[in-house]
Amino acid sequence: MKLTIGHLYPDLLNLYGDRGNIQCFRKRLEWRGMEAEVIPFLSGDTIDFSQLDIILLGGGSDREQELVCGHLKNIQQDFKNYVEDGGVVLAVCGGYQLLGKYYKTDKKMIEGLSILDITTEWQPERLIRNIVLDSPLFDTPVVGFENHGGRTYIGSHTPFGKVFYGLGNTGKSGYEGVLYKNVIGTYLHGPLLPKNPQVCDYLLERALKRKYSDNIVLEPLKDELEHLANGYIAGRYSDKKYILKETIKRHI
């Protein structure tokens, strides 16, 4: 079995170790004896969505997102059809914002793909810290690092997770990211997948089911190191004393 992963605009959106997410998809397929093909689509390339099983839309600076915006117009309808048809998408940081209707910065209005009914507005104070989520999809915490100036309002959409520690979509809502069909949009980098193999396997399984058969169940891998890395952050922020120390440090 084989999955084809499209990495969209790595020449523009390539921040915060997006490559780690790609590598995680690839290796977790290979370790199970399956094949992975990664196709980077540079800005201006034509994209045949029918050949793709997973799409990664990564993060970029506000300036670079604006450049991406122009290219998105050409693929908007195809991308939307792909999502509605159950295509798997992981959109991180800037990529997450671009799934929505718009991203309003202090200077400009960046038009998004309008695939989801979400909007983002920029504020000068950046939301930067480690973050721990409880996601309804998994029985173990999702951990990562957030760093965003945008506040994302997801309306009636389902969030990716509830914020256990950290700031999340708006810094106030108590929720992080968005889930829609087989799309996960999130501010978590770090990168997201290596430390959260449950998320990686969830997306891989969705993609395999869509392409091959509903009966596919991924066999487990030896994930001791993944769990230790995940547990280190989850554990650190379950410690009330540590959180108190951290809070004091941030306010002096």
Partner 1 sequence: MKLRSVLAIKCAKCTSYLIKKLNRGSGVTLPGYVARLVDPHILSVMVGMVKEKTIVTMGTNGKTTTNSILYHALEAEGKKVIINRTGANMLNGIISAFVLAADKHCRLDADYACIEVDEIASVNVLPQLKPDCALLTNISRDQLDRFGEVDITFNKLKTAVTSVPDTKLIINCDDVLSYTLASESGNTFVTYGISEQIFDDISRSEIRESIFCRSCEKKLEYDFFHYGQLGIYHCPNCGLKRPEPDFTAADISLEDELYTFSMDGMLIHSTARTPYNIYNTLSAYAALNALEADLAHFQDMIESFDYGNNRESIFSINSARVQLHLAKNPIGFQQKISLVLKDEKPKDIIIQINDTYQDGEDISWLWDVDFQYLADAEAATITTAGTRKFDMGLRLKYEDISCDNTTDLRSTIIERTKRGTGNLYVIVNYSGLYSTNYMLTELEKTQKGGEET
Assess whether 69 carries a catalytic annotation.
no
Are 120 and 153 within 8 A, CB to CB? yes
Under the criterion CB under 8 A, does residue 38 sit at the interface with partner 1?
A: no
Q: Quick check: 111 and 76 in contact, CB under 8 A?
A: no
Integer CA distances (angstroms), 226 to 24, 48, 186, in order: 11, 34, 20
Active-site entry in 7, 71, 148, 189: 189
CA atoms within 13 A of residue 242's CA, in its CB half-sphere: 10
User: Does 11 help bind partner 1 (rule: CB under 8 A)?
Assistant: yes
**3-class SS of residue 145:** strand
Written as six digits, the tokens of 77 are 């309808």
Q: 190, 198, 206, 210: which one contacts partner 1 (CB under 8 A)?
A: 190
Site string for partner 1, 61-90 (x = CB under 8 A): xxxx--x-----------------------
Is the N-terminal amide bond of 191 cis, ω within 30° of 0? Answer: yes
Applying CB under 8 A, among 165, 170, 194, 237 the residue interacting with partner 1 is 194
Which listed residue (112, 191, 204, 237) binds partner 1 by CB under 8 A? 191
Asked if 145 is part of the footprint of partner 1 (rule: CB under 8 A), the reply reads yes
State how far the Cα of 119 lies from the Cα of 138, in Å rounded to an integer: 26
Asked whether position 216 contacts partner 1 by CB under 8 A, the answer is: no
Among 4, 23, 114, 140, binds partner 1 (CB under 8 A): 23
Q: Is 129 annotated as a binding residue?
A: no
Angle of CA points 41, 46, 52, to nearest 5°: 65
Q: Is 199 in the site for partner 1 (CB under 8 A)?
A: no
Structure tokens belonging to residue 105: 């910065």
Q: Which two tokens stand for residue 132?
A: 């721990």
Q: Which stretch binds partner 1 (CB under 8 A): 150-158, 162-170, 210-218, 224-232?
A: 224-232
Query: Chain centroid to CA 158: how far?
Result: 14
Q: What mask, x for binding partner 1 by CB under 8 A, covers residues 83 to 122?
A: ----------------------------------------
Judged by CB under 8 A, the residue of 32, 80, 101, 126 near partner 1 is 126
Neighbours of 67 (CB within 10 A): 16
What residues are paired with 2 via a beta bridge?
35
189 is catalytic: yes
Give the number of other CB atoms < 10 A from CB of residue 63. Answer: 10
Which residues are part of a known binding site for substrate?
126
Known catalytic residues are 93, 189
Contacting positions for partner 1 (CB under 8 A): 11-12, 14-20, 23-24, 27, 43, 61-64, 67, 126, 128-130, 145, 147, 149, 189-191, 194-195, 225-226, 228-229, 232, 249
